[in-house]
Amino acid sequence: MDSKSEVNMAKINPTLFNSIYEMKCPRCREGELFDTTIFSFDKSFEMRERCSECSMNFSPEPGFYYGAMYVSYAIWGGISLVLCSILILVFDWNLNQSFALLFFVSIIFFVWLFRISRTLWIHANIKYRPNYIKELTQKNNQKLEN
Ligand SMILES: [Zn+2]
């Protein structure tokens, strides 16, 4: 298998990791969850309403993303603990120095954390359906024929 067809295979059937890393729709893994990149200051906290590929509603119910707060808390709690432990135990920093660095790291990754938490939450709740778009077009074609 040459590298070009491997790239095509990855595009046809993206892994869960790739889908979360690239913040894609959980159902088809093709449409984007967010309009802008994490370092653009435009629409940082706005999600798309629907998937551009399979038209999945990204807000299935009111308050759906409250659970993402727990994901965010767990991720950032873990990162903070590891970062401060390394700084204090390995590099011999004091608590104030390590908290100051943690504060700046938090500012830099704030948008990323918000988005990755929502992405993980929606991926945990919505099942991947690799043939969904194909099924949808077949259904629509059948409707047109009848
Ligand atoms: Zn989709």
More confident call, 6 vs 101: 101
Residue 51, both tokens: 């998937």
Kindly list the distances between the CA atom of residue 115 and the CA atoms of 22, 36, 91, 101, in Å, as whole numbers in the listed order. 10, 11, 31, 22
Q: What is the pLDDT of residue 11?
A: 52
Q: How far apart are the CA of 6 and the centre of ligand 1, in A?
A: 22
Band (1; pLDDT cuts 50, 70, 90): very low
Band (12; pLDDT cuts 50, 70, 90): low
Other C-beta atoms within 10 Å of 86: how many? 12
Nearest 5°: phi and psi at 136?
Answer: -65, -45
Q: How far apart are the CA of 90 and the centre of ligand 1, in A?
A: 44
Spatial distance between the Cα atoms of 19 and 46, rounded to a whole number of angstroms: 19
HSE, side-chain direction, 13 A CA sphere, residue 4 = 0
Q: How far apart are the CA of 62 and the centre of ligand 1, in A?
A: 20
Domain that holds residue 63: 3-145
**For residue 31, is pLDDT > 70?**
yes
Q: How far apart are the CA of 24 and the centre of ligand 1, in A?
A: 8
Q: What is the number of structural domains in the chain?
A: 1
